[in-house]
Amino acid sequence: MSNIDRPIETRLFIDGDSRPAAEGATYPIHNPARPSEHVGDAARANPADVDAAVAAAARAYPAWSRTSYAERAELLVKAADLLVADEEDVKYRSRLFCREHGKILRETLLEMTRLGDRFRLTASFAERLATDERLAGPPFDTIITRQPRGVAALIVPWNWPLSILGAKLPQALMAGNTVVVKPSANSALAPSLTLEKIAAVFPPGVVNVVTGQSGEIGDALVGHRDVRYVNFTGSIDVGRHIMKVAAENLTPVTLELGGNDPALVLEDAELDPGAFMRMYMGTFMSSGQICMALKRLYVHRSRYDEVVEGMTAACARQVVGDGLLDDTTMGPVNNAGQLETVTGMIDEARTAGADLRELGNVPDTAMYEDGYFQKPTLALDPDPSLRLVRDEQFGPALPIMPFDAQEDAIRLANDTDFGLCSSVWTADPERAERVARDLEAGYTYLNGHGPAAQDNRGPFGGFKKSGIGRNLGYEGVLQFQGYHSISSQPGWLM
């Protein structure tokens, strides 16, 4: 093992100070490509650590909330610059991220280097945020302004922790809140190091970080009487639990709970090699572990064979293995539980007689069998009642199903408990917009799907069981504020 890959230990960051968890407790993190490889140990916080972090954020809040939007924007840009200032450090954190998470190195480097872009975008809203609405009387002179909510708890999942952090943290800070961030226990090392760099830019207590097991500190954070807002990204079951805990204090929440995102390929779609690569990446990037990934592919019957052939060819070219290796294009699933979920869906479809194609190349069979791997898998026209179609796979498996009429495609796309993202593939811009408006989704991509098709200026979130509220964009900042109306007799204020 090289020095760069030796196990590390990360700490909590509270009140401007890097510190161990209470009693020095830690927990290990292993490489999902090589489960016997110890990547490092993360601090294992307990409720006392959470109390300390929330108390620090509460102390810092009055002064931070009085800073101007311009001052906050300046610090956001400073943090963005600092994140990429040391090229060797960026490479180290990206490599560490690859080893603890499993996604390929090119993706971890992309996520690491693009995080600052979301800070800069949020900083660009400063002037717009500083503009109040002023209504002259009669009946009254009224100013409609906004104020921050207070201490915000930001809970980040393991799949894209830095990108999702960038959809919550700069927005919370720009709105004037102080924060306590809890990264996922399954991917805490590189995110903790990255958060420390960010936190050091701001006054002590403005950004605090606690790591550990959700079962031990989740309720202590979400249910803390001094936490005034909770922003969570993760599963429906955990989101439902968070709502219950937050309800004890009537704490408002934003919940982004994933989706079962449909794509509709209409009969006039332009299906060249570039389209199939966008379709593939929208589905299988990060081994399919993306909330906005394409998870159900509905294709007009006249183009069905063509799409199956194109996606089969794209999947067959992939190299499945250790994400650190240059030739690897798909790494493992992050953890044993998620692998069991995905393979269980595939096995159920196989037992039901579905036409399955497990594709891709495996250079190291022994590693594949020992790690949390699943080759990219296509299920051709499976029974719509199967979990592979009804539920979110969150892994490298995709059902492809034909339809005969546009109305049928829209009905099938909307026949789900989810409503996060969707996509429409057609050569007709007007038709694309009409169909998109009929889809029950918070975001619809046209002739693309997923992170590579995302405009971060737009708000992101879903309908139905995909969650409550929005992240990203100008609207993502407003989620962290409440409206404040100020009125006087007419002619007195204005």
pLDDT, one tens digit per residue, over 338-389 is 999 999 999 999 999 999 999 999 999 999 999 999 999 999 999 999 999 9
pLDDT, residue 401, reads 98
Question: What's the distance, CA 211 to chain centroid?
Answer: 18
Q: Which two tokens stand for residue 82?
A: 């600092």
Q: What is the mean pLDDT of residues 2-20?
A: 92
Q: Taking the CA of residue 328 as centre, how many other CA atoms within 13 Å lie in the half-sphere pointing to its CB?
A: 27
Dist. CA 467–CA 475, nearest whole Å? 16
* Stretch 99-128: mean pLDDT: 97
Domain ranges for the chain = 3-258+470-483, 261-415+421-456
For the purposes of burial, counting CB atoms within 10 Å of the CB of 484, is it exposed (0-12), middle (13-18) or buried (19 or more)? exposed
Q: Does residue 369 have an active-site annotation? A: no
The residue among 48, 56, 51, 42 whose CA lies nearest residue 211 is 42
Mean pLDDT of 405-411: 98
Which one from 98, 107, 291, 315 is the annotated catalytic residue? 291
pLDDT at 23: 87
What is the biggest distance separating any 2 CA atoms in the chain, rounded to whole angstroms?
80
Q: Is the pLDDT of residue 311 over 90?
A: yes
pLDDT at 333 over 70: yes
Q: Shortest CA distance to 416 belongs to which of 389, 393, 450, 434?
A: 389
CB atoms within 10 A of CB 60: 22
Q: What is the pLDDT of residue 111?
A: 95
Using a cut of 0.75, tell me whether the model's pTM lies above it: yes
- CATH code at 261-415+421-456: 3.40.309.10
The stretch 101-110 carries a mean pLDDT of 96
State which amino acid sits at residue 98: C
Q: Give the rounded percent of residues in the chain with a pLDDT score beyond 90.
A: 99
Catalytic position from the list 100, 107, 111, 256: 256
- Give the pLDDT confidence score for residue 145 in this predicted structure: 97
pLDDT score recorded for residue 460:
97
In the prediction, which pLDDT does 2 show?
63
pLDDT in tens, 429-451: 999 999 999 999 999 999 999 99
- Cα→Cα distances 49→12, 79, 221, 272, Å: 9, 25, 10, 54
SS (H, E, C) 44-76: CCCHHHHHHHHHHHHHHHHHHHCCCHHHHHHHH
Kindly give, in sequence order, each residue whose CB lies less than 8 Å from that of residue 180, ignoring residues fewer than 6 positions away.
50, 53, 54, 57, 151, 152, 153, 154, 208, 209, 210, 221, 227
What does the pLDDT read at residue 4?
79
In total, the chain counts a number of residues equal to 494
pLDDT band at 28 (very low <50, low <70, confident <90, very high): very high
> Could you report the per-residue pLDDT of 377-389, keeping only the tens digit for each?
999 999 999 999 9
Percent of the chain with pLDDT over 70: 99
pLDDT at res. 21:
97
> Quick one: 3-258+470-483 is in which CATH superfamily?
Aldehyde Dehydrogenase; Chain A, domain 1 (3.40.605.10)
Residue 40: the pLDDT is 98
When the pLDDT of each residue in the chain is averaged and rounded to a whole number, the result is 97
The values of phi and psi at residue 329, to 5°, are: -115, -10
> What was the pLDDT predicted at 1?
55
Could you confirm whether 256 is annotated as catalytic?
Answer: yes
Instruction: Tell which residue, 8, 5, 93, 89, has the closest CA to residue 42.
Output: 8
